[in-house]
């Protein structure tokens, strides 16, 4: 089986959820080596879009083609915090080992090679020293890095991260972006959805703005116009463009524009 | 003095029925917490309780047709799980509502069936013996386990262990992150049905010892104690199994010497151990503060 380069092309796509149209008129195309942000208010259909790309929801109208995911695990999905069962007592290492699942046979236990892979993925996100910590005790930023390591362990070429920055302070966002940029440089497609791109918008190659329909798509400087922000967030959107964060007061930054 | 204490342990084992009961109790003590760990981690205790009550009609039919309730466990368990899912999807009711509806309906059907003169007479004709006593099914009658049932329980327990071993990674993934699991190609609903089928088997094996009403004491309580004491999931299973076996053995001996029903005593021992573990946790937390 030949594995093609990752790409996603979406043409005038609509997606329904629970009998209602949740997203309509979405058109964009991303190729290998792209770091893309999806921006929209809560309830704008960001998760719906991810679920459609991941094949969990059918396309009601238009077309969606995802290439480069012929192998199970080639697409990694990091869901929102709420859909993870934090009651489950798993260590960082346990979670990353889940990513090796497709490479371990039904009757086999993880091999030395699997363990080595987990080690290198954890080193890459700077969590090897904390590998025995339980995931429910971690900060928001550390949790996201654990899931990035799991995506690396499953050798994903497309990584979708839903609301990756909620509950993550600015310094930790920066750490995550640096890792994601290095994945982008290896030819992976990394897509992050968020309702808040303050100060980090320019770090993305492409930005897709949605609010049930597509508001803009393109490089940040093109997509991020005052008109688009007003369409997304109403009059708050205009304040958003002028918003600056004091780097010494990062805690207060979290959670605005809800 | 010492020989007297030894005698307390050895004496019951002179009876064949006690030996059989001990084997089944140990099986139940191990199996219930091992599968119970998944049930507790998934927050599915109510589903477990519902399954235990809903298999009653299936057990009645199994007893009538084959002389043992064990055979009917898997088809009944799977049918019930499918029915609950079907009701939830078709009527739009929440999952716990549809579980509640099937739980009550099937349990009532079982009670009506087992106490109907038609069932009692047919049982007497077909099997040449008295129809099962409802109370024995409700609180367990481990001393009445036959040699055949011991072997069957052993075989089924091995099947459950093999099933859990094979599906462990998938069960762990779908328990921790169901959406992520589906994306990497794990059939989440299929894994859920496998768990429910294995759970139905464990429940029916355990009903012999603990009865329908108290099976939760073996399925949930030792596993929940394991969650209080262990750090990792495998540790939860191991500690749960140790507590399960201890509860089962202590319960059996206490009930033998005090001449009281085994199931409720096992349940009380397991509950007391949970209480101790919770107190220990509370004490550790306070001393840390």
pLDDT at residue A176 tops 70: yes
Are the Cβ atoms of B172 and A98 closer than 8 angstroms? yes
pLDDT at A4: 78
| Percentage of chain B exceeding pLDDT 70 | 99
Least confident of A83-87, A221-225, B256-260: A221-225
Residue span of the structural domain in which A47 resides: 7-252
Distance separating the N- and C-terminal Cα atoms of chain A: 45
pLDDT at A235: 64
Ramachandran angles phi, psi of B77, nearest 5°: -60, -45
Q: Give the distance from CA A127 to its chain's centroid.
A: 19
Are the Cβ atoms of B180 and A91 closer than 8 angstroms? no
Q: How many CB atoms lie within 10 A of CB A124?
A: 16
pLDDT at A250: 40
Please tell me the distance in Å from A245's CA to the nearest CA on chain B: 33
pLDDT at B84: 81
Interface test with A, best of B42, B179, B223 (most A CBs within 10 A): B179
Q: Is residue A210 part of a domain?
A: yes
Residue-range domains of chain B with CATH = 2-288 (1.10.3470.10)
Look at residues B23, B112, B119 and name the one whose alpha carbon lies nearest to residue B62: B119
- For helices B95-115 and B56-66, angle between their N-to-C axes, nearest 10 degrees: 40
pLDDT at residue A251 tops 50: no
Q: Identify the residue with better confidence: B53 or A72.
A: B53
Region B45-64 average pLDDT: 91
Are the Cβ atoms of A88 and B182 closer than 8 angstroms? no
- H-helix or E-strand spanning residue B253: helix B233-258
Q: Which of A75, A102, A107 sits opposite B166 (nearest CB)?
A: A107
Please tell me the distance in Å from A247's CA to the nearest CA on chain B: 33
> Which tens digit of pLDDT belongs to each residue from B107-157?
999 999 999 999 999 999 988 888 888 888 888 888 888 888 899 889 989
Q: How many domains does chain A have?
A: 1
pLDDT at A237: 57
Q: Of the segments A246-250, B64-68, B89-93, which one has the largest average pLDDT value? A: B64-68
Q: What is the ipTM of this complex?
A: 0.84
pLDDT at residue A254 tops 50: no
What is the C-alpha separation between A249 and A112, in angstroms, rounded?
44
Are the Cβ atoms of A84 and B172 closer than 8 angstroms? no
pLDDT-derived band of residue A243, with 50, 70 and 90 as boundaries? very low
* CATH code where residue A179 lies: 3.40.50.300
pLDDT at residue B211 tops 60: yes
> Which tens digit of pLDDT belongs to each residue from A140-169?
999 999 999 999 999 999 999 998 888 888
pLDDT at residue B1 tops 60: no
- Two tokens, residue B32: 């219930």
Q: Is residue A257 part of a domain?
A: no
Residue in A closest to B230 by C-alpha: A89
Q: Which of B43, B184, B236 sits opposite A89 (nearest CB)?
A: B236
> Which tens digit of pLDDT belongs to each residue from A72-130?
889 999 988 888 999 899 999 999 999 987 666 666 678 888 899 999 999 999 999 99
Residue B184 Ramachandran class (φ > 0 left, ψ -120 to 50 alpha, else beta): alpha
Interface test with B, best of A87, A88, A110, A164 (most B CBs within 10 A): A88
Q: Which of A56, A79, A102 sits opposite B177 (nearest CB)?
A: A79
What is the C-alpha separation between A166 and A146, in angstroms, rounded?
15
pLDDT at A2: 57
Q: Identify the residue with better confidence: B193 or A91.
A: A91
Q: Which of A78, A85, A106 sits opposite B176 (nearest CB)?
A: A85
DSSP one-letter code for A234: T
Look at residues B31, B38, B30, B229 and name the one whose alpha carbon lies nearest to residue A88: B38
Q: Of the segments A1-10, A231-240, B59-68, B227-236, which one has the largest average pLDDT value? A: B227-236
pLDDT-derived band of residue A185, with 50, 70 and 90 as boundaries? very high
Residue in B closest to A92 by C-alpha: B232
Strand order in the sheet with A158-161: A59-67, A7-17, A20-30, A213-218, A206-211, A34-39, A189-194, A158-161, A75-78
Q: Which of B166, B178, B185 sits opposite A72 (nearest CB)?
A: B185
pLDDT-derived band of residue B67, with 50, 70 and 90 as boundaries? confident
Q: How many CB atoms lie within 10 A of CB B148?
A: 11
> Which tens digit of pLDDT belongs to each residue from B25-43?
999 999 999 999 999 999 9
Q: Is residue A128 part of a domain?
A: yes
Q: Is residue A109 part of a domain?
A: yes
pLDDT at residue B263 tops 80: yes
Please tell me the distance in Å from A87's CA to the nearest CA on chain B: 6
Are the Cβ atoms of B183 and A98 closer than 8 angstroms? no
Please tell me the distance in Å from B216's CA to the nearest CA on chain A: 20
Q: Is residue A126 part of a domain?
A: yes
pLDDT at B57: 92
């Amino acid at each position: 089986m030949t594995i093609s380069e990752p790409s996603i092309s979406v043409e005038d796509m609509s997606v329904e959820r629970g009998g209602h149209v949740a997203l309509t008129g979405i058109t964009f195309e991303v190729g290998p080596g792209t770091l893309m942000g999806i921006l929209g208010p809560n309830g704008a259909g960001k998760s719906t879009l991810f679920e459609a790309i991941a094949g969990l929801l059918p396309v009601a109208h238009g077309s969606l083609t995802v290439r480069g995911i012929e192998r199970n695990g080639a697409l990694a999905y990091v869901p929102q915090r709420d859909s993870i069962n934090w009651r489950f007592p798993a260590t960082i290492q346990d979670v990353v080992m889940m990513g090796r699942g497709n490479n371990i046979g039904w009757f086999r236990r993880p091999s030395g090679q699997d363990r080595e892979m987990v080690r290198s993925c954890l080193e890459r996100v700077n969590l090897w020293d904390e590998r025995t910590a339980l995931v429910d005790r971690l900060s928001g930023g550390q949790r996201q890095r654990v899931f990035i390591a799991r995506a690396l362990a499953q050798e994903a070429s497309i990584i979708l991260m839903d609301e990756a920055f909620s509950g993550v302070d600015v310094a930790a966002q920066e750490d995550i972006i640096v890792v994601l940029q290095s994945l982008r440089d290896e030819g992976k497609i990394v897509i992050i959805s968020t309702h808040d791109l303050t100060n980090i918008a320019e770090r993305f190659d492409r930005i897709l703005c949605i609010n049930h329909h597509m508001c803009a798509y393109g490089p940040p400087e093109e997509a991020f116009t005052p008109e688009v922000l007003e369409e997304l967030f109403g009059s708050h959107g205009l304040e958003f463009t002028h918003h600056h964060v004091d780097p010494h007061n990062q805690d207060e930054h979290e959670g605005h524009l809800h | 003095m010492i020989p007297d204490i030894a005698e307390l342990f050895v004496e019951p084992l002179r009876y064949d029925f006690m030996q059989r009961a001990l084997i089944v109790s140990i099986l139940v003590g191990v199996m219930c917490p091992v599968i119970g760990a998944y049930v507790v981690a998934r927050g599915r205790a109510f589903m477990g309780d519902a399954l235990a009550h809903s298999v009653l009609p299936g057990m009645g039919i199994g007893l009538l047709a084959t002389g043992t309730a064990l055979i009917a466990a898997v088809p009944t368990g799977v049918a019930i799980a499918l029915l609950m899912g079907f009701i939830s999807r078709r009527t739009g009711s929440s999952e716990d509502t549809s579980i509640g509806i099937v739980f009550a309906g099937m349990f009532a059907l079982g009670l009506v069936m087992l106490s109907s003169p038609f069932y009692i007479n047919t049982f007497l004709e077909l099997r040449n013996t008295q129809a099962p006593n409802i109370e024995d099914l409700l609180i367990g009658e481990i001393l009445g386990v036959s040699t055949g049932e011991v072997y069957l329980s052993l075989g089924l327990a091995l099947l459950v262990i093999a099933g859990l071993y094979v599906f462990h990674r998938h069960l762990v993934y779908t328990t921790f992150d169901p959406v992520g699991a589906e994306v990497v190609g794990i059939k989440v609903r299929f894994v859920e049905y496998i768990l429910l089928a294995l759970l139905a088997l464990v429940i029916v094996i355990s009903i012999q010892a603990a009865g329908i009403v108290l099976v939760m004491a073996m399925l949930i309580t030792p596993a929940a104690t394991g969650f209080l004491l262990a750090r990792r999931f495998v540790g939860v299973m191991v500690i749960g199994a140790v507590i399960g076996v201890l509860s089962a053995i202590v319960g059996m001996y206490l009930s033998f010497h005090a001449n009281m029903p085994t199931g409720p005593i096992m349940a009380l021992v397991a509950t007391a151990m949970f209480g101790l573990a919770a107190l220990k946790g509370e004490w550790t937390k306070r001393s840390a503060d």
